[in-house]
């Protein structure tokens, strides 16, 4: 039996995740994209994983620079999630008009997030149409206080307390 990719996509809608924007910068190029495949692996040493589709600008810049930044979005940042997911094709520069800051590396972080990470790639592995990156967290900011942006069944939600 061959698994139909659309069948898998429908089933994966049941998996609830937080929402992040991953950014990378190399030379004078910077790019970012909305991603929910970001996971903590280890506290000692501080490691995370990230999966990016190979045919994206963000993937290329992460591969070239060997580093990336992560912004965990708040419930107030749905529009930024959509912007960095490419839902506004008329926007050529996703960073235009978006307040950003940096920690230790040059890849920008989106202001207003719940937490921020700077990461240095240690390993990468091909995984289907994607690359799985294992990275060391080299700097963090934020304590996660606030309401996260939640994604479930292709719709954004707020965490009910």
Please write the tens of the pLDDT for every residue from 148-160.
999 999 899 988 7
User: What percentage of the chain has pLDDT greater than the value 90?
Assistant: 83
136 is a domain residue: yes
Q: Please report, for the domain that includes residue 75, its CATH number.
A: 2.30.110.10
- pLDDT the model gives residue 158: 85
3 is a domain residue: no
Among 36, 70, 48, residue whose Cα is nearest residue 123: 48
Q: Are strands 20-26 and 67-72 parallel, antiparallel or unpaired?
A: antiparallel
Question: Ramachandran region of residue 146, left (φ > 0), alpha (ψ -120 to 50) or beta?
Answer: left
Show the domain range for 67.
Answer: 17-148
If you average pLDDT over residues 68-97, what whole number do you get? 96
- pLDDT the model gives residue 152: 92
121 is a domain residue: yes
51 is a domain residue: yes
Quote the pTM value: 0.94
**Could you give the number of structural domains in the chain?**
1
Do residues 83 and 119 touch, judged by C-beta distance below 8 A?
A: no
64 is a domain residue: yes
pLDDT in tens, 98-151: 999 999 999 999 999 999 999 999 999 999 999 999 999 999 999 888 999 999
- pLDDT of residue 161 exceeding 80, the answer is no
pLDDT band at 1 (very low <50, low <70, confident <90, very high): low
76 is a domain residue: yes
63 is a domain residue: yes
Do residues 57 and 34 touch, judged by C-beta distance below 8 A?
A: no
11 is a domain residue: no
* Torsion (CA) 5, 61, 137, 108 in degrees, nearest 10: -110
Among 60, 64, 30, 62, residue whose Cα is nearest residue 49: 62
If you average pLDDT over residues 52-73, what whole number do you get? 97
Considering the chain, what is the average pLDDT of its residues? 94
Among 72, 52, 74, residue whose Cα is nearest residue 61: 52
């Amino acid at each position: 039996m061959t698994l139909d990719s659309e069948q898998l996509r429908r089933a994966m809608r049941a998996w609830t995740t937080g929402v992040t924007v991953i950014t990378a910068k190399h030379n004078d190029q910077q790019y970012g994209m909305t991603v929910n495949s970001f996971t903590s692996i280890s506290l000692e040493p501080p490691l995370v994983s990230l999966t990016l589709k190979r045919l994206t600008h963000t993937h290329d810049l992460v591969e070239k620079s060997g580093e990336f930044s992560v912004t965990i979005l708040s419930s107030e940042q749905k529009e930024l999630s959509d912007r960095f997911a490419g839902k506004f094709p008329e926007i050529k520069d996703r960073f235009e008009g978006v307040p950003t800051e940096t920690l230790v590396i040059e890849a920008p972080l989106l202001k207003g997030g719940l937490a921020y990470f700077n990461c240095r790639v240690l390993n990468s592995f091909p995984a289907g149409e994607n690359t799985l990156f294992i990275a060391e967290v080299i700097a963090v900011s934020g304590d996660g206080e606030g309401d996260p942006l939640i994604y479930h069944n292709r719709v954004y939600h707020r965490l009910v307390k």
